[in-house]
Structure 1
Amino acid sequence: MEGFYYTYILVSEKDGKNYTGYTSNLPLRFEAHQKGKVPSTKHRRPLKLIYFEACLSQEDALKREKYLKTHYGKMYLGKRLKSYFTSQEK
């Protein structure tokens, strides 16, 4: 969808750690991650998109990204994605 900015969470299937980012083109950005074109995730592939939010402005998406990287943001995601994380433990 045009006009949106996306805050997203990827999980590394290699080390199980999350990566949080934001972009205006989620499919293109995810493809860049998958192809190893993003230095911070290049050696953590394969990656899986597990969560995203759409914002109407770049400023809001950036603020949301920063929040999700905080302790409280990680707690929020843990609760929000509880069923996902629970199913991964099996």
Structure 2
Amino acid sequence: MVFVPSRPLKALKKLRAFFVYKLFYTNHYVYIIYSISNDVYYKGYSTDYIMRLEQHNQGKTTYTKNKGPWKLVYAEELYSKKEVFIKEKMLKRQHRQYLLWLFKQKTNLIK
């Protein structure tokens, strides 16, 4: 049996309002974590970078599973998902020298 709301238009408007809120009023973060044991950086994005770091350290992600422990070294707040994807893609192409320079910039939330 399929659930059909008694007021489908009203339900649709509420659902649309929720997604618009999530899209435009949720902060998005690009983050970089560092594996002390493997001397490697991992770049990613999240709406909650602290929780995401915990997931990496608990082995809940495929790439970072056996490379921990991880330390958060960079986080930058961006205001749209599009900006975050562009920034993450750019960071994944950068060399270590650039990353070391980036960690010292004002945009880094981790000091």
> Aligned-residue CA RMSD in angstroms?
1.7
Deviation of 1:74 after TM superposition, in Å, equals 4.7
TM-score (norm 2): 0.65
* TM-score between the two structures when normalised by the length of structure 1: 0.79
User: Which structure's CA Rg is the greater one?
Assistant: 2
Q: Note the residue ranges of structure 2 that are not aligned, 5 or more in a row.
A: 1-24, 105-111
Kindly indicate whether the alpha-carbon contact (under 8 Å) linking 1:11 and 1:49 is maintained by their aligned counterparts in 2. yes
Report what 1:65 is aligned to. 88
Runs of 4+ in 1 over 2 A off after TM superposition: 73-76
1:44 equivalent in structure 2: 67
What is residue 80 of structure 1 aligned with on the other side?
102
Percent of aligned positions that are identical: 34
Give the unaligned 5+ runs of structure 1.
Answer: 83-90
Q: Distance in 2 between matches of 1:57 and 1:33?
A: 23
**What SS class does the counterpart of residue 59 from structure 2 fall into?**
coil
State the aligned residue count: 80
- The alpha carbon displacement at 1:75 in A equals 4.4
